[in-house]
Amino acid sequence: MKTFQNKRGLRKTCILLALLLITSVVMSACWGKDKDAEDTYKEVSGGVAENGDGGTGTSSDETDEKEQKIMGPTLDEIKERGYIIMGLDDTFAPMGFRDKQNNLVGFDVDLAKEVFKRAEIELKLQPIDWSMKETELNTGKIDVIWNGYTITPGRKEQVDFTKPYLTNKQIIVTMAGSGVDKREDLAGKKVAIQSESSAIDAVEAYPDVVKTFDGGKPVLFATNDKALMDLEVGRSDAVVGDEVYVRYYIKQKGKEKYKIAKEDFGDEEYGIGFRKTNGDLLKLIDDVLDKMREDGSYDEIYNKWFSDN
Amino acid sequence: MSYILSILPALTSGLAITFEVFVVTLVFSIPLGLIVAIGRISKINIVSRVVQLYILIMRGTPLLLQLVVVFFGLPYVGIVLERNTSALLTFVLNYAAYFAEIFRGGIESIDIGQYEGAAVLGLSKIRTFRRIILPQVIKRVLPPVGNEVITLVKDTSLVYIIGLGELLRAGEIASNRDASLTPLMVVGVYYLIIIGVFTEVFKRLEKRHSYYQ
């Protein structure tokens, strides 16, 4: 059955190497967008966030390329189709998660249901992997990112945000009795953070503080709850994370076991993300949200989820 | 205990996706793998080369990456697939490559004398393969195929990347919501039971195929 092709070994190796190169180029093209996002991320966090366009350091033709790549329906097409697809991370309590009957619930879910009811568009909820959210949006798989989505300069390059609808803080939580009340108190401590979260940006805005951490940098976990579990078993000394989730978590576990420091790593705002080509849709939603703030229905939903915080 | 019972319905709904991916992948990738294996050992050079390239790409890149490329990358060339379809297509293509190499190993392990004997008896090429070679191949590849099947059960968890809520993700959701590790433990038991069943199935299959020994 075998043919003897060993003499052609060298040629084969060359072909193989070429193939490898081709596949890696193809794949990097597909991943290009995410890498860009990461790069801008780092740039932004290095130079203390704030000014709207943090990461314009990347050349403009790259931005052009990104804009060309956006796919997905327009507002008219969405209306014609009859429904809008909202992407959410169904592991993010209390913003969007599943109850024991497996229904999608949460503050953002309730808010979105009301908003789209008023906008007269049927809402479809699509759970996504959070690390893929911008890709999901800009390939038209979903039409909205709405799930505790922090507005950052890096993300603003890829999506358009509504006006902020909720303020969140990056708080420091330790076990009760740790005596950590200020950022400086974290010196020599193991600090756990969710990877690829805005908490990292927030912490890195204080490079002097990060340097004093045990190991000189935070310990990263896939999710906030894993970071908090690490804190509970004593491998980590502190967690920096989203106030909304951390408070939800410690309420489940018993508030008295934990201590929330007086100082935090700053405020941030949640917005709703749309494709850059969907400006009219964004305006529509912003208007509905404004009305809901005026007539008190926003507060009603807020109080349902955050009343005793 | 009552807590575990309360999370079972949600976990079981995650199990549905896990099973869907598992069953469809097995049903399609094993026959496809056999075809690919035959292509791989084909004496037609170009066929063998193309198949080798396919196997290289499928085995040489992470399955997770392939899922992302099929679901998010293909729309850029005009191919738009549903979430489920993307996952199933990727898994079938990926696993067919692994199965193909297992089958090739099996086919090439059959002694040349078997072909010669069949030729002497005047069997056609196709008949030789179907009646003489393949039954012996099946016997030999059962253990590595069982290995792949077990890996497949656990690999189904990768579909989370395109937003499909399979068993492990259902566990993560419950774990996050209830601030507890218990759901993940329960998920572990689920996997263990499934794989335990398949281990037993393959044990029996191997026994049934152990004639002449």
Torsion of CA B68, B74, B80, B82, to 10 degrees: -20
Question: Which residues have a Cβ under 8 Å from the Cβ of A61 and sit 6 or more positions away?
Answer: none
Torsion angles phi and psi, residue B33, rounded to 5: -60, -40
Q: How far is A51 from chain B (nearest CA, A)?
A: 31
Give the span between the Cα atoms of B9 and B11, in whole angstroms: 5
Show the domain range for B69.
Answer: 2-208
**Per-residue pLDDT tens over the stretch B151-183:** 999 999 999 999 898 999 999 889 888 888 899
**Per-residue pLDDT tens over the stretch A267-308:** 999 999 999 999 999 999 999 999 999 999 999 999 998 876
Which candidate in A100, A124, A228, A251 is best for mutational testing of the B interface (most B CBs within 10 A)? A100
**Per-residue pLDDT tens over the stretch B63-120:** 999 999 999 999 888 888 999 999 999 999 999 999 999 999 999 999 999 999 999 9
Q: Give the residue from chain A lying closest to B171, CA to CA.
A: A91
Give the span between the Cα atoms of A52 and A101, in whole angstroms: 42
Q: What is the pLDDT of residue B29?
A: 97
pLDDT in single tens digits along all 309 residues of chain A:
444 445 455 666 666 666 666 666 555 554 444 434 333 333 333 333 333 333 333 333 444 444 447 899 999 999 999 999 999 998 888 999 999 888 999 999 999 999 999 999 999 999 999 889 999 999 999 999 999 999 988 899 999 999 999 999 999 999 999 999 999 999 999 999 998 788 888 999 999 999 999 999 999 998 888 899 999 999 999 999 999 999 989 988 888 999 999 999 999 999 999 999 999 999 999 999 999 999 999 999 999 988 764
Q: What is the pLDDT of residue B116?
A: 95
B141 part of a folded domain? yes
B213 part of a folded domain? no
Size of interface A-B (CB pairs under 8 A): 92
Q: Which of B65, B61, B62, B70 is CA-nearest to residue B88?
A: B70
Q: Give the residue from chain A lying closest to B8, CA to CA.
A: A100
Q: Give the residue from chain A lying closest to B10, CA to CA.
A: A102
Chain A CB contacts of B12 below 8 Å: none
* Count of the separate structural domains present in chain B: 1
Are the C-beta atoms of A108 and A146 separated by less than 8 Å? yes
Question: The domain spanning residue B192 has which CATH number?
Answer: 1.10.3720.10
Give the span between the Cα atoms of A258 and A171, in whole angstroms: 12
Chain B CB contacts of A22 below 8 Å: none
DSSP string, B19-37: HHHHHHHHHHHHHHHHHHH
Q: Which amino acid is at B61?
A: T
Q: Specify the residue for token string 């808010």.
A: A111
Give the CATH number of domain A67-166+269-306; options: 3.40.50.880, 3.40.190.10, 3.30.565.10, 3.20.20.70: 3.40.190.10
B153 part of a folded domain? yes
Cα dihedral A272, A73, A63, A22 sign: positive
B171 part of a folded domain? yes
Please check whether residue B53 touches A, CB under 8 A.
yes
Q: Which of A176, A172, A156 is CA-nearest to residue A164?
A: A156
Domain range list for chain A? 67-166+269-306, 168-268
B191 part of a folded domain? yes
Other residues' Cβ atoms within 10 Å of the Cβ of residue B68:
23
- Cα separations in angstroms, B59 against A24, B67, B91, B98: 14, 13, 12, 7
CATH architecture of A168-268: 3-Layer(aba) Sandwich (3.40)
B142 part of a folded domain? yes
Give the span between the Cα atoms of A294 and B210, in whole angstroms: 77
Nearest-CB residue to A97 (from B53, B68, B177): B177
- Cα separations in angstroms, B58 against A217, B19, B93: 37, 22, 7
Q: What is the pLDDT of residue A20?
A: 64
Q: Give the residue from chain B lying closest to A98, CA to CA.
A: B173
Chain B CB contacts of A1 below 8 Å: 41, 107-108, 112
Please check whether residue B177 touches A, CB under 8 A.
yes
**Surface of B (99-158) touching A: CB under 8 A:** 107-108, 112
Distance of alpha carbon A192 from the chain centroid: 17
Please check whether residue A145 touches B, CB under 8 A.
no
Give the span between the Cα atoms of B183 and A239, in whole angstroms: 23
Are the C-beta atoms of A134 and A71 separated by less than 8 Å? no
Are the C-beta atoms of A280 and A75 separated by less than 8 Å? yes
Other residues' Cβ atoms within 10 Å of the Cβ of residue A283:
14
Give the span between the Cα atoms of A235 and A191, in whole angstroms: 10
Are the C-beta atoms of B132 and B118 separated by less than 8 Å? yes
Average pLDDT value for chain B:
94
